[in-house]
Structure 1
Amino acid sequence: MLESRNIRGRVLGLTLASLLVAGPAAASDWTVDMAQSSLSFVATQNGSPVEGRFENWTAEISLDPENVADARIRAVIDTATAGTGQPQIDQTLSSASWFDPSSHPQAVFESSQITALGGGRFEAAGELSIKGKAVPLTLPFTLEVENDTARAKAEVPLMRLVFGIGSDIPASTVGDEVAVKIDITAKR
């Protein structure tokens, strides 16, 4: 019985020691500075650009740029906060045929793999879910880290009709492609 306890104690000790040794190689957790970060979009309506942004969103980021094996990103966007500053467009964005926040209050991006491309460039492959429709997405981004502050920037085109956003408006009136721009400042 005593020998069994000693073996269990050694196994537990070795397990804890291996976790401590593995700790520094694990991805770094980052806290987004929301005051210095933005999630915006640019669409076209009748050939003219319409700029907007999401006011409320969160991101959980765990990433060590030198070792991306365990890196992960999860962003949750409050779809009711999409706005352009143009009341008629903003009212349309919150309608059932557009973001429909009463039935689908959140859009979610979750990475499954992050790849370092070199020169401060990365790709986060994962899935974006909007209005209950999940679509694979590869998000290219740049990353600069100085001390305990990171700055990431990304721009990716999304096709709104794939997600059923504004399906009542033809692409000739409101373009199908929407540029999503991400500018994040985060601290460890």
Structure 2
Amino acid sequence: MRAPSALTRLLFAGTALVLAALPAAASDWTVEPGASSLSFTAQQGESPVKGTFATWSAQIRLDPADLANASIRAEIETGSATTGQMQIDQTLPSEAWFNVAAFPKAVFVSDSITATGGDSYAAEGRLTIKDREQPLTLPFTLTIDGDTAHATAEVSLMRMLFGIGADIPAATVADAVTVRLDITATR
């Protein structure tokens, strides 16, 4: 067997360089934390209590033309929840609420993502908070402009299903909590 010629070696090296220079898969997105937010609103008596999670991350693989291979995994550090109200902020990490010492993260993992018309989608998956897993449908809108994507979502969660604030009746703090996502990501 002959050794490859100089031209063959040069073509092989050139092809390898071109392949190495190609961008990562077009459907992998990196969340821009400074341009994204994860917030919640709960009703306490007659007053809404608004808060945010300061620390969270998401691994997103989503190409609208290839939803069969799409996936979302989000991890939220429950101890990063803040409302700007000292008493509530001191209560949220407690055992009766998020129990941050035992369960520092909430996790959402999609099982499937489907188009629901126009720029609307639904991620079917599972949300785990305090080691309690519940099915969750996350409806969201998505717009893609070149290498930037913007997604928004709003979903209502029942806090009692996850054992959050089980010591406080729904008459004092409503069971339903509205969670909002506003994500900007790049590829």
TM-score by shorter chain over 0.5:
yes
Which letter maps to 1:79? T
C-alpha separation between the residues in 1 aligned to 2:139 and 2:26?
A: 19
CA shift for structure 1 position 117: 1.3
Partner of 1:142: 141
Partner of 2:185: 186
The change in CA–CA distance for 1:149 and 1:27 in structure 2 (over 3 A counts) is closer
CA shift for structure 1 position 27: 6.5
Alignment map for 1:48-127 (pairs within 5 Å): 48-127=47-126
Q: How many residues align?
A: 167
% identical aligned pairs: 59
Q: Contact 1:27/1:68 (CA < 8 Å) preserved in 2?
A: no
Runs of 5+ consecutive residues of structure 2 not aligned to the other structure: 1-18, 20-24
Give a deviation string over 1:105-127, Cα, whole Å, max 9, x none.
00000000000112000000000
Q: Contact 1:27/1:71 (CA < 8 Å) preserved in 2?
A: no
Which letter maps to 1:82? A
Partner of 2:162: 163
The alignment partner of 2:182 has SS state of: strand
CA shift for structure 1 position 57: 0.2
Give a deviation string over 1:104-150, Cα, whole Å, max 9, x none.
00000000000011200000000000000000000000000001000
Give a deviation string over 1:25-59, Cα, whole Å, max 9, x none.
x7610000000000000000012100000000000
CA shift for structure 1 position 66: 1.8
C-alpha separation between the residues in 2 aligned to 1:98 and 1:67?
A: 39
Give a deviation string over 1:130-188, Cα, whole Å, max 9, x none.
00000000000000000100000000000000000000000000000000000000000
Partner of 2:130: 131
Which letter maps to 1:185? T
Calculate the TM-score normalised by the size of structure 2. 0.86
C-alpha separation between the residues in 2 aligned to 1:93 and 1:83?
A: 8
Runs (4 or more) in structure 1 with deviation over 2 Å come to none
C-alpha separation between the residues in 2 aligned to 1:117 and 1:164?
A: 31
C-alpha separation between the residues in 2 aligned to 1:108 and 1:94?
A: 16
C-alpha separation between the residues in 2 aligned to 1:70 and 1:187?
A: 18
Which letter maps to 1:163? F
Calculate the TM-score normalised by the size of structure 1. 0.86
C-alpha separation between the residues in 1 aligned to 2:149 and 2:117?
A: 16
Runs of 5+ consecutive residues of structure 1 not aligned to the other structure: 1-19, 21-25
Partner of 2:45: 46
